[in-house]
């Protein structure tokens, strides 16, 4: 049993009045972009290697969860937990949340006493192909543990609450555990930073150069088509991938080097490692099966333009997740030059001219309006 979930067990019994209440919680949680990529896992939803990411600000998911406690006489009915998302009992995100609910209720049995109605919205348009699982899963985990804490009168301090949410989010989607904190976070044990863990992400802002805390991220939407390869299948393929061992070693070395560069603010080194990480991820993808070729011609055009701009003196670099869209990163002081560069040279390769200008963000916050 994880130490944070224990806090949800050791508390006073809930009163009948409270069970009759309908409880709600609502959170806004951001997406994140990894500079050292998580790709491949060990049993128990543990990472094959440590990863490091920057939490975004504008690419967020808003989630409202209503808990409907029911009495034990009703327990025999075939209700599973997640009743609906956005009033749709067949919403495609239900299996993902249901799986997380099942895993959590195995660790926190009193979760079995409530059903959940969920409403969720992304700030970014559906048709951008931007992954919403990190923001969606983390927002849902915040709501769920928030509800449990108030329903059962759990006495938990903020640090332990966030750690419990990161642990819970990891069970739903690995990268989601990093979205629980603002700024830069690491998930996975690494010698580069003390107190890192495979079980939860930790914030590492205290070791980051202050000028990087407002790093910008222009998300260049090359294609909004759904991915041909689900990340769960991609992770699985790493179990038999001939490059897996070398990859895990490379990630550990890159982590050490990028942590030093993030500390000193050495953008040149950060750029080289982040780009090497993105292209290594795609090399693994491409050599894992025919459906692993996720980059598009526009992706390569943009990569080359960014590298050329850097050669010509612009402090700019790219990273890419498991898809065709390019994240272009740069210091805030260069925003207007980069926006002009984007308009003149990159927009032509973006679907319907779509670019989302985002930046390093402060992390999840509760929402104080009720939508349910």
Q: Which is nearer to ligand PMV, 51 or 152 (CB)?
A: 51
Closest by Cα among 62, 69, 59 to 26: 62
Binding letters toward ligand PMV, positions 277-306, x by CB under 6 A = ----x-------------------------
Q: Which is nearer to ligand PMV, 52 or 67 (CB)?
A: 52
Residue 247 interacting with ligand PMV (CB under 6 A)? no
Residue tagged 């997380």 (tokens): 100
Please state whether 221 falls in left (phi above 0), alpha (psi between -120 and 50) or beta.
beta
| Residue of 133, 190, 288, 325 that binds ligand PMV (CB under 6 A) | 133
Q: Which is nearer to ligand PMV, 133 or 254 (CB)?
A: 133
Residue 358 interacting with ligand PMV (CB under 6 A)? no
Residue 210 buriedness (CB in 10 A; 0-12 / 13-18 / 19+): exposed
Binding to ligand PMV, residues 317-356 (CB under 6 A): 321-322
| Residue of 122, 185, 223, 231 that binds ligand PMV (CB under 6 A) | 231
Instruction: Report how far residue 81's alpha carbon sits from residue 100's, in angstroms, rounded to the nearest whole number.
Output: 10
Torsion angles phi and psi, residue 247, rounded to 5:
-65, -45
Please give the size of the binding site for ligand PMV, defined by CB under 6 A: 14
SS3 content of the chain, % helix, strand, coil (to 5): 45, 20, 35
Q: Which is nearer to ligand PMV, 41 or 359 (CB)?
A: 41
Binding letters toward ligand PMV, positions 54-93, x by CB under 6 A = ----------------------------------------
We find the least distance from the C-beta atom of residue 235 to ligand PMV, in angstroms, to be 6
Residue 174 interacting with ligand PMV (CB under 6 A)? yes
Instruction: Report how far residue 153's alpha carbon sits from residue 289's, in angstroms, rounded to the nearest whole number.
Output: 50
Binding to ligand PMV, residues 14-53 (CB under 6 A): 34, 37-39, 51
Strand-pair partners of 217: 329, 358
Q: From the CA atom positions of the chain, what is the Rg in Å?
A: 21
The answer to whether 139 and 27 have CB atoms below 8 angstroms apart is yes
Q: Which is nearer to ligand PMV, 147 or 204 (CB)?
A: 204
We find the least distance from the C-beta atom of residue 173 to ligand PMV, in angstroms, to be 4
| Vertex 281: Cα angle to 275 and 285 (nearest 5) | 145
The tokens for 60 are: 């967020």
Interacting residues toward ligand PMV by CB under 6 A: 34, 37-39, 51, 133, 173-175, 231, 235, 281, 321-322
């Amino acid at each position: 049993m994880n130490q944070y979930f224990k806090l949800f067990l050791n508390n006073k019994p809930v009163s009948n009045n409270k069970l009759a209440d309908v409880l709600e919680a609502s959170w806004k949680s951001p997406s994140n972009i990894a500079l050292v990529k998580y790709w491949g896992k060990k049993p128990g939803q543990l990472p094959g290697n440590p990863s490091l990411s920057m939490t975004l600000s504008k690419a967020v998911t808003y989630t409202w969860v209503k808990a409907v406690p029911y009495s034990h006489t009703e327990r025999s009915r075939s209700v599973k937990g997640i009743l609906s998302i956005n009033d749709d009992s067949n919403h495609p995100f239900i299996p993902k949340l249901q799986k997380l609910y099942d895993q959590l209720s195995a660790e926190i049995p009193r979760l079995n006493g409530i059903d959940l109605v969920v409403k969720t919205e992304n700030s970014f348009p559906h048709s951008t192909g931007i992954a919403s699982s990190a923001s969606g899963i983390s927002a849902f985990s915040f709501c769920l543990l928030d509800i449990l804490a108030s329903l059962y009168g759990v006495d938990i301090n903020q640090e332990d609450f966030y750690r419990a949410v990161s642990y819970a989010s990891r069970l739903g989607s690995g990268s989601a555990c990093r979205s629980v904190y603002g700024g830069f976070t690491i998930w996975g044990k690494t010698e580069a930073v003390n107190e890192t863990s495979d079980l939860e992400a930790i914030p590492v802002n205290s070791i980051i150069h202050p000028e990087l805390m407002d790093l910008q991220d222009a998300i260049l939407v090359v294609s909004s088509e759904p991915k041909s390869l689900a990340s769960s299948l991609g992770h699985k393929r790493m179990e038999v991938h001939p490059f897996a061992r070398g990859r895990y070693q490379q990630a550990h070395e890159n982590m050490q080097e990028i942590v030093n560069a993030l500390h000193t603010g050495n953008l040149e080194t950060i750029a080289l490692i982040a780009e090497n990480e993105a292209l290594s991820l795609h090399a693994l993808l491409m050599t894992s099966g025919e459906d692993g070729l996720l980059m598009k011609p526009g992706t390569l055009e943009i990569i080359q333009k960014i590298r050329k701009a850097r050669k010509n003196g612009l402090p700019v670099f790219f990273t890419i997740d498991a898809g065709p869209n390019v994240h272009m990163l740069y210091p805030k002081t260069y925003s207007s030059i980069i926006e002009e560069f984007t308009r003149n040279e990159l927009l032509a390769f973006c679907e319907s001219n779509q670019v989302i200008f985002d930046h390093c963000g402060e992390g999840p916050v509760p929402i104080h309006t009720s939508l349910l």
